[in-house]
């Protein structure tokens, strides 16, 4: 073999190697979105106008809290702008329909605001029922005039710690009607007595897009009228400001720092303090407020939700500034922070007990205080997973929902796939000193990456063998050429 041929062969080998290496280091990107032609776009918008047109009958009925879940309940709904005198009615629940008789129903006039979107104009109405009895079932309906919703039923929280469960979703965001519906409904069928639903941001892909909100409300449908939502905003609810949909359709606490009302807030539910932080803006301004909310915390358990992860499971992502701003606040909380629920990364990653950027191990677990960080995804947009040492459990290529139960000194956490199969499970056991021990209750299998990733692992291995072979050949030829 001549020197020229050898050089050409080695160069080709190196080129192939570079191409192979680059291609295997790429994330599996979603297929590029097809650009619509003007006619297609006009037809789509017309269809969206028809599909998501408000009418005189209430729709998008959703329960949230503005005040104490033991004595208040907020409800928000939508109608067309002809409905100007909206109201909600409430009564103590009974086994039959007679609660409607004998003056048992209380009517509360609604606050109404107009929301103009690219495809419609609507009135959003809200009522905050107050003066309710703790741990009591109520019926309510919303409307006015001749158009009323059905009577929905809910139960107020107990005013003391009592066992309950709630649902946590990561980003729904894309193809919500098509692909998020079964996840939302699957979670509800697995925990029909869930007392609330945490949404960790990016509920939709485009905050001002009313058709996407229409899909979001349709996917969970009447579930939202009976199980309150606890939403925190994601970056997709910002463009660049918080979408006007947010405050129009969610009636949330205004106990956060000024200017961050209904995005940064807290509430207490039966022995658990739930805190929503806004990871999209003014993150430093929330530090002092959070210190105070964690210091004056009457609840035994503390769960915090926000969108951008403190520790990122997705390949190539890291929110260092956010971690440096907020993680020390969690660590110095007098009662600790038990669980942090996040989204944004379109993968699954869940830590063990962490403190000072380290996972507690050995004897530390029985003496130190640590926080468990979880990132999950409920919608169909799925990214590649990074390989991070903090992950006790990780996953990609699956849509998930989480069922969390709190009872006395135990918090149990379970992640399930859209098929309802258990994907992750652990238990926190609160020690008398307030710290937690963690018990993994699903057999850990750190190599398991279900769905598409199995195929990708195979190709990654094949690629590695090919690269090694090419390197070997190249080195051999080069040595012989000397």
Positions in the binding site for Fe ion (CB under 5 A):
202, 234-235, 344
Cβ atoms of 138 and 91 closer than 8 Å? yes
Closest to Fe ion by CB, 235 or 371 = 235
Buried-state track 250-288, b at ≥16 Cβ within 10 A, e below 16:
bbbbeebbeebebbbbbbbbbbbbbbbbbbbbebebbee
- Estimate the crossing angle of helix 38-51 against helix 210-220, to 10 degrees: 50
Closest to Fe ion by CB, 55 or 316 = 316
114 Cβ contact partners less than 8 Å away, ≥ 6 residues apart: 81, 121, 122, 123, 124
481 Cβ contact partners less than 8 Å away, ≥ 6 residues apart: 3, 6, 7, 10
Closest to Fe ion by CB, 237 or 262 = 237
Buried-state track 118-136, b at ≥16 Cβ within 10 A, e below 16:
ebbebbbbbbbbeebebee
Residue 281: strand, helix, or coil? coil
Closest to Fe ion by CB, 48 or 237 = 237
**Min dist. Cβ of residue 171 to Fe ion (A):** 6
Cβ atoms of 253 and 66 closer than 8 Å? yes
Question: What's the CA gap between 353 and 427, in Å, rounded?
Answer: 11
User: Assign residue 270 a region: left if phi > 0, alpha if psi is -120 to 50, beta otherwise?
Assistant: left
Question: What's the CA gap between 132 and 71, in Å, rounded?
Answer: 4
Question: What's the CA gap between 421 and 79, in Å, rounded?
Answer: 39
**Min dist. Cβ of residue 17 to Fe ion (A):** 35
Cβ atoms of 313 and 394 closer than 8 Å? yes
**Min dist. Cβ of residue 377 to Fe ion (A):** 10
**Min dist. Cβ of residue 202 to Fe ion (A):** 4
Residue ranges in 191-284 assigned as alpha helix (H) = 210-220, 223-226, 244-249
**Min dist. Cβ of residue 319 to Fe ion (A):** 11
Neighbours of 188 (CB within 10 A): 20
Cβ atoms of 217 and 183 closer than 8 Å? no
Beta pairing class for 339-342 and 301-305: parallel
**Min dist. Cβ of residue 422 to Fe ion (A):** 26
As a whole number of Å, the end-to-end CA separation of the chain is: 12
Dihedral sign, CA of 187, 188, 192, 195? positive
69 Cβ contact partners less than 8 Å away, ≥ 6 residues apart: 156, 157, 196, 228, 267, 268, 269
């Amino acid at each position: 073999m001549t020197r020229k041929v050898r050089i050409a062969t080695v160069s080709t080998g190196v080129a192939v190697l570079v191409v192979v290496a680059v291609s295997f280091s790429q994330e599996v990107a979603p297929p590029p979105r097809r650009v619509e032609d003007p006619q297609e776009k006009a037809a789509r918008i017309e269809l969206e106008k028809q599909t998501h047109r408000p009418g005189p009958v209430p729709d998008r009925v959703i329960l949230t809290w503005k005040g104490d879940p033991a004595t208040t309940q907020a409800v928000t709904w939508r109608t067309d702008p002809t409905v100007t005198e909206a109201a909600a009615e409430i009564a103590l629940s009974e086994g039959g329909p007679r609660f409607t008789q004998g003056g048992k129903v209380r009517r509360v006039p609604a606050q109404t605001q107009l929301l103009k979107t690219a495809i419609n104009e609507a009135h959003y109405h809200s009522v905050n029922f107050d003066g309710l009895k703790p741990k009591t079932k109520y019926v309510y309906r919303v409307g006015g005039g001749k158009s009323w919703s059905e009577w929905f039923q809910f139960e107020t929280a107990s005013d003391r710690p009592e066992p309950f469960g709630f649902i946590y979703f990561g980003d729904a965001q894309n193809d919500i009607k098509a692909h998020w519906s079964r996840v939302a409904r699957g979670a509800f069928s697995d925990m029909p007595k869930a007392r609330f639903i945490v949404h960790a941001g990016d509920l939709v892909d485009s905050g001002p897009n009313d058709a996407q909100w229409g899909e979001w409300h349709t996917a969970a449908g009447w579930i939202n009228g009976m199980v309150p939502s606890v939403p925190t905003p994601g970056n997709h609810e910002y463009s660049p400001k918080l979408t006007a949909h947010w405050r129009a359709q969610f009636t949330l606490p205004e106990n956060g720092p000024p200017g961050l009302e209904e995005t940064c807030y807290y509430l207490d539910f039966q022995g658990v303090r739930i805190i929503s932080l806004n990871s999209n803006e003014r993150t430093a301004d929330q530090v002092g407020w959070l210190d105070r909310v964690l210091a004056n915390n009457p609840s035994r358990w503390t769960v915090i939700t926000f969108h951008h992860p403190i520790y990122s499971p997705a390949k190539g992502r890291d929110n260092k500034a956010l971690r440096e701003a907020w993680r020390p606040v969690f660590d110095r909380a007098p009662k600790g922070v038990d669980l942090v629920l996040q989204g944004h990364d379109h993968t699954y990653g869940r830590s063990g007990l962490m403190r000072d950027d380290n996972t507690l191990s050995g004897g530390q677990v029985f003496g130190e205080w640590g926080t468990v960080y979880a990132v999950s995804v409920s919608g169909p947009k799925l990214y590649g997973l990074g390989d991070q040492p903090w992950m006790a459990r990780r996953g990609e290529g699956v849509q998930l929902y989480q069922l969390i139960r709190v009872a006395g000194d135990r918090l149990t956490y379970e992640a399930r796939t859209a098929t309802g199969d258990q994907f992750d499970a652990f238990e926190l056991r609160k020690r008398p000193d307030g710290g937690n021990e963690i018990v993994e209750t699903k057999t850990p299998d750190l190599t398991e990456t279900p769905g598409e990733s199995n195929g990708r692992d195979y190709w990654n291995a094949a690629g590695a063998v090919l690269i090694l072979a090419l390197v070997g050949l190249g080195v051999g030829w080069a040595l012989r050429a000397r």
